[in-house]
Amino acid sequence: MFDNLHKKAVFLRSKIGDSIYLWINNILIKDMYLTTEKKQEFFKTFGTSEIDTGNAEGQIALFSYRINHLTEHLKKNKKDFSTQQALIKLVGKRRRLLDYLKVKDIGRYREIIKALKLRK
């Protein structure tokens, strides 16, 4: 996706000039808050490996990161109701994964809660 957008930006650069190109490029970089490397880091840190993306701990960590990002976005944009709905769905997904982990292995559940500081 990023490569496609970058190609479009390069095309626009040739048509409209450097100053607009730099502005578009900054927008593209800011919109990518969650890169592939960042995802791999979450799965490597909290999961078993960066390849095992189905691991519950890695997914919970990724959801928590996304939840924090959306929460910050909603603090600035209070009337963004589509993001609010996405946030509620994401919190539900994380809650279901945490419930699954709690039933399956209470030790792993306690570790992930402590590592992500989800409970006070």
Q: Which two tokens stand for residue 43?
A: 């799965």
Helix H or strand E encompassing 86: helix 81-104
Same domain? 19 vs 64: no
Query: How far, in Å, CA of 5 to CA of 79, rounded?
Result: 28
Tens digits of residue pLDDT in 12-45: 556 555 555 555 555 555 557 788 888 888 888 8
Q: Which residues of the chain have pLDDT under 70?
A: 1-31, 120
Same domain? 65 vs 98: yes
Same domain? 42 vs 96: yes
pLDDT at 12: 55
Number of independent structural domains in the chain: 2
Query: How far, in Å, CA of 56 to CA of 47, rounded?
Result: 8
pLDDT at 27: 54
Query: How far, in Å, CA of 66 to CA of 38, rounded?
Result: 11
Q: Tokens 């930006």, residue?
A: 9
pLDDT at 116: 92
Domain that holds residue 6: 2-31
Same domain? 24 vs 50: no
Q: Are 42 and 64 in contact (CB under 8 A)?
A: no
Same domain? 50 vs 24: no
Query: How far, in Å, CA of 84 to CA of 73, rounded?
Result: 10
